[in-house]
Amino acid sequence: MSFFTLPYIVRSIGAAIAQIKPSYEEAAITLGAYPFILFRSISLPLFRDGVINGSILAFTRSLSETGATMMVAGLASTAPILVVELKNAGQLPQAMGASIVLIVGAILVLFLAKAMLGQKVISLEKVYPRFEKQLTKLVIPRNILLALFFIFILFLPTVFIIFYSIGNWDMQISSIVIKSMAISFFIALIVTICNLIFALPLAYMIARSRNRLGKLFDTLNEIVLLVPTSALGLSLVFFWQKFLSFEYIILILTHLSFSFPLLLKPLVATFRDIPLSLEEAAYSLGAKSWQVLRTILLPLIMPAIIAGSIMAFMRSLSETGATLAVSDKIQTIPVLIVGLVKQGQYSQAAFISTILFVIALFFLFLLKHFTYRKK
Amino acid sequence: MPNVKIINLSKKFVSSRGEDVLALDRLNLNIPDKKYSTLLGPSGCGKTTLLRIITGLIEPTRGGVMFNKSDVSQKLTQERDIGFVFQHFSIFPHMDVWHNAAYGPLVRGWSREDIAKTVKRNLKLVGLDDRTKALPHELSGGMRQRLGLARALAAKSSLLLLDEPLSALDAKIGAFLRYELRKIVKNNNLTAIHVTHNQEEAMTISDNIILMKKGRIIQTGSPEKLYNAPQSIFAANFIGKCSFFAARKHSSRSVDIDGQILKMPKEIKKDRLVIGIRPEKIHLEPHAGQICLRGRIDLINFLGHLYEYRINVSGNIIKAYKRIKDEKLSRKYKEGDTVDFSFFRR
């Protein structure tokens, strides 16, 4: 589980650390603070919000994961799987109940964590200078431990599928596989484009609004991010069933809703980073609104648009739980892989996974390219 | 207690383009004990780099730093026992005034009574003793820098390092804090090393100015020495106002400025030379027989306490200051007039 949740925490903390002025840490050093006490009295309190935000993300990501759990755990069925299975078994009331528990649970976690944000917790009353100075020497063992964790828990198992696939070469590309790919990419593409159209103006509004409306949207956005996707999928099925009968449209709407926050978040953050005075300067020089948008805002947030789009695209491409909750007929790639594993066709599953993996690597490369070019 | 010695110190940076940049070039320097010293120079001259090397926040490429005859080059910043004041204050945003000021003694594990005593004393020294519970964002810029000073002093280090401590403040608040800073350093027998690019600040606050340019030391000495006896055009120009003009040797005791002969106080060795004159050393009403130079007044500027005359001597602009109380004088000259002027002896 730590395998796919860790990146969420690392990203949030990384972003939080990057925002701390290094001079705070330098000030503490000149005042005689050794690394360990510096960490707990200055760095940790200052990036604690990042820790909490990352933890929320990791917690809910783990809570909502369906695909990976289904493949690993034959017996232990977690809540999202239960939702899918109950729905497929036709026990809709029970599925609904499980979904409600998941949704309410996710919202509760959000509010608990939000309550923790912004609270002052520092304890400098107990200081052990000599002991804490000794702790500084633990840097090398710490680094080794981190490296081992990274290699054996995160990295090697992830890429192992490639070696497995090469060892058990099964390059059958049946029409089912091609169809699945086409469905997945089609849905992901539509979802990303629709998201962009709505996310851009909303992000601008949230970033620039000074009233509570912006904050409300921000929180709503986070709730959507937190709700387990299979519960979300089921919820959307019930909602749209009355108006729409076409499962593909419901599926696209479901994918829209859970990938939307992933796109919105970086956009809001980037809009906030653009000083209002830049827009004002453009207006003072005679630019019309759409000219300001085209010549000032869009170029400045392009990296965020691309990064957010890739995140949303990949999230849609890899989603299992929501897809299963919406339909038991539509086979996207992840659904197909889960099905193959269940049938014991490991080498075929590994081959498709490898293809998916290569695509993900390609997008990761794109993502890094565009986010670093900004600096 | 501490006298700081810099021995053959060099620092190379690698720029973002991958080129080597020599920030400090074989510096040798002795910073006297219990004096207020200033590292003065234009931006990019290496003064902040030097200060950070003394602090231990940057490692030098070559050379070393001695505190009081012991080499501290291998020591961590934490072991150097210094106080450091930051340009942008760097007050910990998540701690109140008291905890900020107490941070040094706290992390050193002082006893509660000692911490309470030193914090109280230092907050009183900077006039913040009634704001102990305030959070940094509730303080003005000037107050934050006072807190920065109290925080740096709390652990009773006798070496105080200040990195442009007044440049992020309003000019008036900065000028006021300047005197307080000097008073606190002097009253507590501290050694201070103060980095600034502001020559007026350096002149008013220091006992000793170290003038730097492009990673080298140009001249060191008291403000009076640097002002009255600069050893280079750069020093004369950077500290105070100075007008320059080119001249040729006429005889061993006089020079030729485009046809006008000017007597010199010293023997002249070179054929071509540059002469610098401070504006306040120019005497606009010379006595008979004392006439030295003739020029035309291009511009008269009213500066409040002074009139500034810009006198054109064959294309060279020479500035002269006259105090405002010479009312007769102010009415006497107009722009475009031709004037004779001499120089006051220093």
Which tens digits make up the pLDDT trace of B48-87?
Answer: 999 999 999 899 999 999 998 889 988 888 888 899 999 9
The answer to whether B217 and B29 are in contact (CB under 8 A) is: yes
Which tens digits make up the pLDDT trace of A73-104?
Answer: 554 566 677 777 777 777 777 777 777 887 78
The yes-or-no verdict on residue B143 having pLDDT over 90 is: yes
Interface test with B, best of A26, A31, A40, A117 (most B CBs within 10 A): A31
Q: Please, which residues 117-136 of chain A have a Cβ atom closer than 8 Å to chain B?
A: 120, 122, 124, 127-130
Q: pTM for the full model?
A: 0.72
* Contact (CB<8Å) A32/B83: no
Which tens digits make up the pLDDT trace of A44-76?
Answer: 777 777 777 777 777 777 776 766 666 665 545
For A188, residues 6+ apart whose C-beta sits below 8 A from its C-beta are A255, A313, A314, A316, A317
Check residue A247 and give its pLDDT: 77
Which tens digits make up the pLDDT trace of B87-117?
Answer: 988 898 888 899 999 998 988 888 889 999 9
What Rg, from alpha-carbon coordinates, does chain B have? Answer: 25
The answer to whether B24 and B215 are in contact (CB under 8 A) is: yes
* Contact (CB<8Å) B94/A122: yes
If you average pLDDT over residues B264-282, what whole number do you get?
A: 86
Identify the band that residue A197 occupies on the pLDDT scale cut at 50, 70 and 90. Answer: very high
How wide is the angle at C-alpha B152 spanned by C-alphas B192 and B114, nearest 5°?
A: 120
Identify the band that residue B221 occupies on the pLDDT scale cut at 50, 70 and 90. Answer: very high
Interface test with A, best of B54, B57, B72, B94 (most A CBs within 10 A): B94
Check residue A1 and give its pLDDT: 45
Which tens digits make up the pLDDT trace of B284-332?
Answer: 876 666 667 888 999 988 888 888 899 998 888 889 888 766 666 666 7
CA distance B238 to chain A (A): 30
Of A56, A52, A31, which Cα lies nearest the Cα of A42? A31
Smallest Cβ–Cβ distance between B57 and the set A29, A34, A45 belongs to: A29
Residues of chain B with Cβ-Cβ distance to A30 below 8 Å are 55, 57, 77, 82-84, 152, 161
For A285, residues 6+ apart whose C-beta sits below 8 A from its C-beta are none
Of A231, A200, A219, which Cα lies nearest the Cα of A324? A231
* Contact (CB<8Å) B57/A124: no
Check residue A374 and give its pLDDT: 47
Buried b (16+ CB within 10 A) or exposed e, A164-193: bbeeeeeeeeeeebeebbebbbebbeebbe
Which tens digits make up the pLDDT trace of A102-154?
Answer: 778 777 877 777 777 655 555 566 667 677 777 767 777 777 887 887 777 77
CA distance A31 to chain B (A): 5
Structure tokens at B233: 């055009």
The answer to whether B284 and B339 are in contact (CB under 8 A) is: yes
A333-343 helix and A346-373 helix, angle to the nearest 10 degrees: 150
Residues of chain B with Cβ-Cβ distance to A139 below 8 Å are none
Q: Regarding the domain with residue range B4-237, which homologous superfamily does it belong to in the CATH classification?
A: P-loop containing nucleotide triphosphate hydrolases (3.40.50.300)
Smallest Cβ–Cβ distance between B103 and the set A28, A45, A129 belongs to: A28
Question: For chain A, which domains are there?
Answer: 1-137 (1.10.3720.10), 171-375 (1.10.3720.10)
The domain ranges of chain B are: 4-237, 241-343
Structure tokens at A314: 């990949």
Structure tokens at A273: 């980073």
Interface test with A, best of B51, B79, B87, B103 (most A CBs within 10 A): B103
> How would you class B287 by CB atoms within 10 Å of its CB: exposed for 0-12, middle for 13-18, buried for 19 or more?
exposed
Please report the number of interchain residue pairs, chain A to chain B, with beta-carbon separation below 8 angstroms. 73
Check residue A355 and give its pLDDT: 80
For residue B182, the tally of other CB atoms under 10 A from its CB is 17
CA distance A40 to chain B (A): 11
**Single-letter residue type at B337:** D
CA-to-CA separations, B51 to A333, B74, B168, in angstroms, rounded: 60, 16, 18
For residue A359, the tally of other CB atoms under 10 A from its CB is 17
Residues of chain A with Cβ-Cβ distance to B155 below 8 Å are 31-32
Chain B: residue nearest A42 by CA?
A: B92
* Contact (CB<8Å) B84/A30: yes
Check residue A56 and give its pLDDT: 72
The beta-carbon contacts of A71-78 under 8 Å, at least 24 apart in sequence, are A71/A337, A71/A338, A71/A341
Of B245, B240, B244, which Cα lies nearest the Cα of B226? B240
Check residue B120 and give its pLDDT: 95
Residues of chain A with Cβ-Cβ distance to B162 below 8 Å are none
Q: Which residue has the tokens 């830049």?
A: A278
Tell me if domain B4-237 and domain B241-343 are identical in fold: no
State how far the Cα of B153 lies from the Cα of B338, in Å rounded to an integer. 57
Smallest Cβ–Cβ distance between B77 and the set A30, A37, A46 belongs to: A30
Which tens digits make up the pLDDT trace of A221-266?
Answer: 777 777 777 777 777 777 877 776 677 888 888 888 888 888 888 8
Smallest Cβ–Cβ distance between A124 and the set B55, B83, B99 belongs to: B99
Structure tokens at A229: 């996707």
Structure tokens at B285: 């009403």
Phi, psi of B63 (to 5 degrees): 85, 180
Check residue A285 and give its pLDDT: 84
Identify the band that residue B145 occupies on the pLDDT scale cut at 50, 70 and 90. Answer: very high
State how far the Cα of B273 lies from the Cα of A219, in Å rounded to an integer. 73
Q: Please, which residues 44-63 of chain A have a Cβ atom closer than 8 Å to chain B?
A: 45-46
State how far the Cα of B116 lies from the Cα of A337, in Å rounded to an integer. 66
The yes-or-no verdict on residue A373 having pLDDT over 60 is: no
State how far the Cα of B304 lies from the Cα of A171, in Å rounded to an integer. 89
CA distance B110 to chain A (A): 9
Buried b (16+ CB within 10 A) or exposed e, B219-256: bbbebeebbeebeeebbbebbbebbebebebbeeeebe
Q: Please, which residues 39-68 of chain B have a Cβ atom closer than 8 Å to chain A?
A: 55, 57
Q: Regarding the domain with residue range B241-343, which homologous superfamily does it belong to in the CATH classification?
A: Nucleic acid-binding proteins (2.40.50.140)
Chain A: residue nearest B79 by CA?
A: A32
For residue A344, the tally of other CB atoms under 10 A from its CB is 8
State how far the Cα of B307 lies from the Cα of B324, in Å rounded to an integer. 6
Structure tokens at A218: 């921000």
Identify the band that residue B213 occupies on the pLDDT scale cut at 50, 70 and 90. Answer: very high
Sign of the C-alpha dihedral computed for residues A28, A31, A36 and A40 taken in this order: negative
If you average pLDDT over residues B144-169, what whole number do you get?
A: 92
Check residue B335 and give its pLDDT: 86
ipTM entry: 0.78
DSSP element (H, E) containing B112: helix B112-125
The helix/strand/coil state of B76 is coil
* Contact (CB<8Å) B109/A21: no
For B145, residues 6+ apart whose C-beta sits below 8 A from its C-beta are B85, B89, B165, B166, B168, B169, B177
* Contact (CB<8Å) A31/B92: no
- If you average pLDDT over each of A7-16, A45-54, B130-139, which comes out highest? B130-139
Check residue A299 and give its pLDDT: 86
Mean pLDDT, rounded, of chain B: 89
Structure tokens at B220: 């060191």
State how far the Cα of A221 lies from the Cα of A281, in Å rounded to an integer. 31
* Contact (CB<8Å) A24/B104: no
Check residue A71 and give its pLDDT: 62
CA distance B17 to chain A (A): 14
Check residue A75 and give its pLDDT: 45
* Contact (CB<8Å) A30/B108: no
CA-to-CA separations, B12 to B23, B41, B76, B244, in angstroms, rounded: 6, 19, 20, 35
* Contact (CB<8Å) B84/A24: no
Identify the band that residue A11 occupies on the pLDDT scale cut at 50, 70 and 90. Answer: low
How wide is the angle at C-alpha A88 spanned by C-alphas A83 and A89, nearest 5°?
A: 100
Chain B: residue nearest A48 by CA?
A: B94
| Helix spans in chain A (H) | 2-19, 22-30, 35-38, 44-64, 67-72, 79-88, 92-116, 129-135, 139-149, 156-167, 175-208, 212-226, 229-241, 247-273, 276-284, 289-292, 298-318, 321-326, 333-343, 346-373
More confident of the two residues B15 and A123: B15
Structure tokens at A237: 């099925």
Q: Which residue has the tokens 């986010």?
A: A371
